[in-house]
Amino acid sequence: MAEVYTEPTPSAFGANPTDPGTPLPLSADDRSALDGLAAAFSRDAYAPGASSAAAGRVAQGAGASAAASHGVHAAAPRPAGSPILSVRSIEKVFGSRDSVTHALAGVSFDVAAGEFVGIMGPSGSGKTTLLNCVSTIDTVTSGHIIVGGRDITGMSRRQLAKFRRDDLGFIFQDSNLLDTLTGFENISLALTIKGEPARSIPGKVNAMAARLGVDGVLSKYPYQMSGGQKQRVAAARAMVCDPKLILADEPTGALDSRAATVMLEIMEMMNTQMGATIMMVTHDAFAASYTNRVLFIKDGAVFNELRRGDESRDAFFARIMEVVSFLGGEAGHVS
Ligand SMILES: Nc1ncnc2c1ncn2[C@@H]1O[C@H](COP(=O)(O)OP(=O)(O)OP(=O)(O)O)[C@@H](O)[C@H]1O
Ligand SMILES: [Mg+2]
């Protein structure tokens, strides 16, 4: 039986994101993450001291959209044509002098609106570096990344903070839910930070949770949820703000096969029925078989690309496995 959560006050911040409201029992970790959230995603400020890790956690919590009044049942149709994401000849060099690593050595590709793209490649091939550059957690050494027609490589810190908040959603391997907030509060926090009117938050959270099958756990804390439920709450948190692009880093990496399948079916539904554009890094050929297209990265460059077309998922899986085998993987894992 689905439980509908009806708490009138939706988040730790109350109706106004700048109003602390009634304090919740936050751990020191949660407090520091929330401090980062408030600073990095406020409309007028950016916290230069925020660490990359905090920024990652922050960004995940607050992937958001400027479309304040959209419905949560279906993303607004986006014009076909220009890509949502355009990666142009990006290079990323780590280190200096004696120890230089070309983690990305000229990567170019586009992701069109409504695509679900998988990124695969051997360990050390540059997948996480690529995701970090697109998510603005890291900066490129050269090249351009254009999201929704805007070049993010030339943005100021303030613009980047707004970009992360308004245009991106994140789902990581570890759901990164705030431990002392309920499922409802974790999802609503992203909307609160974006400045969503408090009265419209419960409806949006409940509707999104129902679509993703986590309406029964909204009053639970993360420690009371299964791994799969946590990931689906994290997906609801990413989706509820209708971001232009959802970035997922091994979203099923910590799940058993049954929970992973449920999560992948949910992501497929987010893509096909809710219009989400998703880029997912994965080691797992089974996970990749749920996407429309897989880009294989090797030594910091795009090595191959497979498109699913009208193929069945099983047939696509078989073709992905051929490339994985060629790259030296085993049992569906590239690394
Ligand atoms: N901060 C860093 N400093 C120096 N080198 C780095 C740094 N981050 C990544 N690298 C190097 O860049 C290369 C690409 O790393 P990256 O983490 O992107 O690989 P990956 O494809 O995500 O691998 P895995 O599948 O193991 O997660 C590797 O050689 C790695 O050692
Ligand atoms: Mg990685």
Q: Give residue-wise pLDDT tens across range 248-288.
A: 999 999 999 999 999 999 999 999 999 999 999 999 999 99
Distance (Å, rounded) from C-alpha 133 to C-alpha 306? Answer: 23
Segment 124-147, tens digit of pLDDT: 999 999 999 999 989 999 999 999
41 pLDDT exceeds 60? no
Q: Is 0.85 topped by the overall pTM? A: no
> What's the mean per-residue pLDDT of the chain?
79
Domains of the chain are: 28-65+113-139+154-326 (3.40.50.300)
Distance (Å, rounded) from C-alpha 10 to C-alpha 7? Answer: 6
Rounded average pLDDT over 15-34: 43
Q: Is 105 helix (H, G, I), strand (E, B) or coil?
A: strand
Residue 184 CA to ligand 2 center (angstroms) comes to 30
Sheet holding 142-147, edge to edge: 99-111, 85-96, 142-147, 150-151
Q: Which residues pair with 144 in a beta bridge?
A: 88
Helices (H), the chain: 28-41, 52-62, 127-134, 157-167, 183-194, 201-211, 227-239, 257-272, 285-288, 313-326
CA max distance for the chain: 62
Which bound ligand lies closest to the C-alpha atom of 100? 1
Sheet holding 293-298, edge to edge: 168-171, 245-249, 278-281, 116-120, 293-298, 301-307
Q: Give the pocket of ligand 1 (CB within 6 Å).
A: 94-95, 101, 103, 121, 123-129, 335
The pLDDT of residue 134 is 95
Most informative mutation of 92, 101, 295, 334 for ligand 1 (most atoms within 8 A of CB)? 101
Q: Are strands 168-171 and 245-249 parallel, antiparallel or unpaired?
A: parallel
Confidence of residue 212 (pLDDT cuts 50, 70, 90): very high
Distance (Å, rounded) from C-alpha 131 to C-alpha 138? Answer: 9
Residue 118 near residue 288, CB atoms below 8 Å: yes
Rounded average pLDDT over 302-321: 96
Residue 217 CA to ligand 1 center (angstroms) comes to 36
48 pLDDT exceeds 50? no
Residue 226 CA to ligand 1 center (angstroms) comes to 30
* Ligand 1 atom 16: residue of nearest CA: 126
Most informative mutation of 125, 172, 250 for ligand 1 (most atoms within 8 A of CB)? 125
Amino acid identity, residue 246?
Answer: I
* Ligand 1 atom 29: residue of nearest CA: 124
Residue 276 near residue 270, CB atoms below 8 Å: yes
Distance (Å, rounded) from C-alpha 185 to C-alpha 13? Answer: 10
* Ligand 1 atom 28: residue of nearest CA: 124
Residue 104 CA to ligand 2 center (angstroms) comes to 13
Residue 13 CA to ligand 2 center (angstroms) comes to 34
Residue 293: which residues within 8 A CB-CB, separation 6 or more?
Answer: 115, 116, 117, 118, 305, 306, 307, 308
* Ligand 1 atom 11: residue of nearest CA: 103
The pLDDT of residue 98 is 83
What one-character-per-residue DSSP string does 66-95 give? S-TT--SSSPPP--SSS-SEEEEEEEEEEE
Residues comprising the chain, all counted: 335
Confidence of residue 68 (pLDDT cuts 50, 70, 90): very low
Residues around ion ligand 2, judged by CB within 5 A, are: 127-128
Least confident of 169-173, 243-247, 288-292: 169-173
Most informative mutation of 127, 141, 281 for ligand 1 (most atoms within 8 A of CB)? 127
